[in-house]
């Protein structure tokens, strides 16, 4: 794998940015399902960043094994901001690409060889279009949606039938659009890699998409989630959602010690570590014997030294998690359906307000997921 590919797979830190949006609508119709052209956002090079541009483009056509999806909602992840800011380097392949990896909608046409879906089915795109099951390949990991032809910030997308899953019946399109990245990441970290069990203590860092999904999933299973935040109002909301304890890491720099107190001195059995450099050492310090840490993000940066002696001494397990496969997505959806879980959406923007959705993500003034309705 090349260094630029590794950068795409690993970097996720975000800082503030100036956001611009340009409209190039042409003759795009408000009725995208039947129009000859559709509205679609694309990235165009700008000074030091990419600009988000809405364009009128030809309506796509499904090939033999492809499906047309009328996208009804998309959601943002921090990764989407990194791409906008060129945090992954000046990748020329991003120019003209369609933003956002996460979206849900309705099947409106199928190719002649499609067997998995029919017109009218409600679906979501998988984060990786070609990672179906088992261990990933390099090729599968490079099929991640966002700022390429597989991006979801478009009224209609065309994709291979293998890159879609059916969505739980009780969820709206807006709710289903939050699942592909943050939902699957939390699921894989806790259930597939961590093998979480009822009664275990779970440490969740912050109140972004992955951590809030971790709160919801672990609570539904009967585990004991502990969550951190820099804001007391978010912590109060987390308690109402089922957290057994909370810590304000801004007012309490030794938040890991407080987490151990909440666990009665036992420590935490599971950690979804989204912080990186500033959080990993403390997460390891509070980890219980035989515990598991899922390494997910690097909000404070990557490159921290992993204390292998400490990990070996307590018989801990550390996993690197970069979302998951279609099989993982489908397993998560079965759990969501069984427990009638509903994702937490902070705010829903209209398609024309995509710029404002990015700005809210940049501010950090949200809890859970930010959604764009198409």
- In tens, the pLDDT along 217-254 reads 999 999 999 999 999 999 999 999 999 999 999 999 99
Average per-residue pLDDT in the chain?
89
CA distance 164 to 130: 10
Domains 3-178+343-373 and 183-320 fall in the same CATH topology: no
Closest C-alpha among 147, 139, 126 to residue 69: 126
For domain 183-320, give the fold: Rossmann fold (3.40.50)
Contact by Cβ (8 Å): 326, 132: yes
Provide the 3-class DSSP secondary structure of residue 35. Answer: coil
* pLDDT score, position 298: 56
Asked whether the predicted pLDDT for residue 128 surpasses 90, the reply is yes
User: Can you tell me whether residue 10 is helix, strand or coil?
Assistant: helix
* pLDDT of 114: 98
* Helices and strands, number each (H, E), in the chain: 12, 16
Beta pairing, strands 287-295 & 268-273: parallel
pTM of the predicted protein model: 0.90
Instruction: Report residue 337: phi and psi, to 5°.
Output: -65, -45
pLDDT exceeds cutoff 90 at 127: yes
Q: Region 185-208: what's the mean pLDDT?
A: 98
pLDDT exceeding 70 applies to what percent of the chain? 87
- pLDDT per residue as tens digits for the range 204-215: 999 999 999 999
Instruction: Give 304's pLDDT tier (boundaries 50, 70, 90).
Output: low
pLDDT at 299 over 60: no
What pLDDT is attached to residue 104? 98
Lowest mean pLDDT among 83-97, 147-161, 322-336: 83-97
pLDDT tens by residue, 107-122: 999 999 999 999 999 9
The closest of 66, 48, 61, 83 to 153, measured between CA atoms, is 83
- Residue 181: C-alpha distances to residues 36, 68, 69, 126 (Å): 31, 21, 19, 8
For residue range 41-100, list pLDDT tens digits in order: 999 988 878 889 999 999 999 999 999 999 999 999 999 998 888 777 666 678 889 999
Taking the domains of the chain in order of start, what are their residue ranges? 3-178+343-373, 183-320
Once rounded to an integer, what is the mean pLDDT over residues 346-368? 96
Asked if the model's pLDDT at residue 177 lies above 80, the reply is yes
- The top-level CATH class assigned to 3-178+343-373 is alpha beta
Q: Which helix (H) or strand (E) holds 271?
A: strand 268-273
pLDDT digits over 5-45, tens only? 444 443 333 333 334 444 444 434 445 667 799 999 999 98
Question: Which is more confident, 301 or 122?
Answer: 122
3-class secondary-structure state, position 55: strand
Give tens-digit pLDDT for 275-298.
767 788 899 999 999 999 999 975
What is the C-alpha to C-alpha distance for residues 120 and 33, in angstroms, rounded to an integer?
A: 12
pLDDT of residue 270: 98
Q: Which whole number is the average pLDDT over 124-139?
A: 97
- pLDDT computed for residue 303 by the predictor: 53
pLDDT at 313 over 50: yes
């Amino acid at each position: 794998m090349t260094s630029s590919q590794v950068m795409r797979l690993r970097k996720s830190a975000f800082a503030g940015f100036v956001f611009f949006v340009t409209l190039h609508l042409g003759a795009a119709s408000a009725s995208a399902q039947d129009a000859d052209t559709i509205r679609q956002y694309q990235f165009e090079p700008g000074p030091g960043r990419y600009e988000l541009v809405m364009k009128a483009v030809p309506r796509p056509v499904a090939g033999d094994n492809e499906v047309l999806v009328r996208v009804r909602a998309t959601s943002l992840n921090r990764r989407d901001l990194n791409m906008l800011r060129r945090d992954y380097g000046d990748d020329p392949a991003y120019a003209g690409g369609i933003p956002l990896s996460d979206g849900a909608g309705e099947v409106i046409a199928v190719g002649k060889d499609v067997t998995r879906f029919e017109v009218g089915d409600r679906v979501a795109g998988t984060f990786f279009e070609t990672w179906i099951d088992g261990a990933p390949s390099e090729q599968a990991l490079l099929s991640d949606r966002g700022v390429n032809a597989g991006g979801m910030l478009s009224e209609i997308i065309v994709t291979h039938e293998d890159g879609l899953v059916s969505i739980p019946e009780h969820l709206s399109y807006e709710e289903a659009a939050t699942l592909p990245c943050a939902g699957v990441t939390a699921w894989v970290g806790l259930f597939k890699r961590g093998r979480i069990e009822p009664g275990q203590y779970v440490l969740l860092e912050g109140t972004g998409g992955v951590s809030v999904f971790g709160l919801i999933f672990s609570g539904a299973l009967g585990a004991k989630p502990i969550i951190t935040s820099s804001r007391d109002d978010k912590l109060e909301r987390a308690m109402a959602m089922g957290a057994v304890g909370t810590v304000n890491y801004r007012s309490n720099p030794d938040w890991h010690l407080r987490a151990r107190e909440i666990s009665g001195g036992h420590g935490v059995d599971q950690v979804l570590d989204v912080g990186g450099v500033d959080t990993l050492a403390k997460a390891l310090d509070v980890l219980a014997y035989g515990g598991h840490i899922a390494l997910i993000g690097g909000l404070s940066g990557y490159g921290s030294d992993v204390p292998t002696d400490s990990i070996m001494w307590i018989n801990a397990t550390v996993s690197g998690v970069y979302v998951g496969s279609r099989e993982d997505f489908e397993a998560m959806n079965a759990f969501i359906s069984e427990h009638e879980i509903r994702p937490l959406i902070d705010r829903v923007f209209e398609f024309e307000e995509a710029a404002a959705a990015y700005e809210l993500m940049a501010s950090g003034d949200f809890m859970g997921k930010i959604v764009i309705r198409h």
